[in-house]
Amino acid sequence: MSSLMLKETLETASVLKSQWNKNTQNRTEICEAWKKFNPYSFLTIARGSSDHAAQYFNYLVGLKLGKLTTSFTPSLISIHKSLIDASQTVSIGVSQSGRSPDLVQSFSYFKQKNFETLAMVNVEESPLAQHAKYVYPLYAGEEKSVAATKSFIASLFASASLIAKLSNDTNLLHSLENHHSTMVTSTDNSWIKIVEALKSTQKAMIVGRGLGLSIALEAALKLKETCHIQAEAFSSAEILHGPQAVIEEQYPLIIFALRGPSQKSLFDLAAQMKQRGANVVVISDHKDDLTDCLYSPSLHSDLDALNAIHQFYIAVNDLAKVKGLNPDSPRSLSKVTLTL
C-alpha cells in the first residue's frame, strides 16, 4: 500500500509550478522592497526540516549576494529575553505550520522593533505569518505525513526564487520557472542501493558540501524519523576534522556529490573511504565508477539539491517498508512540534 510520504513526495513537481506562478507579483514586490532596504545581512530562524531549508537559503545568499547570514537561535528571545538588534537585517522565518512558540515569539519581538521580516510558510494564516511584514506562501497544500517532504523541497524552491530575483540571476530565474519538468524519478533502479546499504544498520553518516549540505542534514533527519537509524550529517570538510575516526570497515556512508565546485572533493572522499572498506553509496548526476545512485539533474546546478532529495525521499520510503516501519507515523513524533 502506498504511503502518504510517497504520495506527497510525488506531488512536489506540481507544488513548485503552482508556487512559482502564484507568487509572481509577491516575489517582485518583496525583492524590490529589499533592494531599497539594502540589508547588511540576513537571518534565518527555523527548526527541524525547515532549518535545513534555511541552511540552503543562507548558502545561496552568500553565493549570489555576497552578504553575511546567521542561523538564529530562537531561545535567545523565547527563553533568555535577549535584546537582539536586527535593524540592518532581513529576518526569514521558515516553517510548515508557522505555529511553534519559539519562532512566533521571536517574530513578535521583531515586529515590535519594526525589523524587516518575512515568513516562508505553508499555512498563510499561521501565527508566524501574522507577525511578519511579508509572507511568501509555499503553496504545498496540506501535508499529512509527519515526515515533511514536499514542504521541505518547496522551502528550498522558495529560497532560490527569492534570491534569484533579488540578484537578477536570469539563468536561475528561467531554470526555476521550468524546474518542475526536471522533477522526475529514476527509472534505472539504482536507488535500491540505499535500501541495501541501510536495511540492516542502526547507524550511518550522510555527507554533503555547499548547497548539498542542507539535504545531507535533511536526509539524516529522515533516516532517524522514518527508519530509526542514528544518522549524522557532516560537510565533507568537517569529516576530516574528527568524525572520520568512527568510519571503519562496512560503515555506511551516503555521499551527495552534487554538481558544482565541490563535486570533485566529494568523489575524492568517496574513493578514500572505499579504500578504507566503508560501505559507500555515492549519489550523483552522472554515471561514474564511483557513482551508485543517479538523480535527474536540474536546469541549473544550484537546484540539483531539490532533485536529489526528492529521489532520496522515495528511497527512504522504500527502506522504511523493508524494515517493517510506517513512514507516515514515526515513533514518538507528531506533525506539528511546539517548542519554546
Q: How far apart are CA 306 and CA 35, in angstroms?
A: 27
Q: Name the domain count of the chain.
A: 2
Q: What is the mean pLDDT of residues 2-13?
A: 94
pLDDT grade for 335, boundaries at 50, 70 and 90: very low
Tens digit of pLDDT for each residue in 24-63?
999 999 999 999 999 999 999 999 999 999 999 999 999 9
Q: Cell digits for 10?
A: 510525488
Both 44 and 85 in a single domain? yes
Question: Which of these three, 156, 181, 206, is where a domain ends?
Answer: 181
177 and 192, same domain (yes or no): no
**Dihedral angle computed from the Cα positions of residues 200, 215, 149 and 190, in that order, rounded to the nearest 10 degrees:** -50
For residues 106 and 250, state if they share a domain: no
Is the full-model pTM beyond 0.85? yes
Kindly report the CATH number assigned to the domain that includes residue 79.
3.40.50.10490
Tell me: do 103 and 163 sit in the same domain. yes
- How does residue 315 score in pLDDT terms, banded at 50, 70 and 90? very high
Place of cell 527541524: 48
Q: What is the mean pLDDT of the chain?
A: 94
Domain span at 50: 4-181
Mean per-residue pLDDT for 115-134? Answer: 96
What mean pLDDT is predicted for residues 6-31?
A: 97
Collapsed DSSP state (helix, strand, coil) of residue 120: strand
> What average pLDDT does this structure show over 14-26?
98
Residues 6+ apart with CB under 8 A from 302: 60, 63, 160, 172, 175, 211, 260
- Chain segment 143-197, per-residue pLDDT in tens: 888 889 999 999 999 999 999 999 999 999 999 999 999 998 765 678 999 999 9
Residues 147, 247: one domain?
A: no
Count of other CB atoms within 10 angstroms of residue 7: 15
pLDDT tens for 57-96 read 999 999 999 999 999 999 999 899 999 999 999 999 999 8
Better pLDDT: 242 or 155: 155
Q: Whose grid coordinates read 513524533?
A: 333
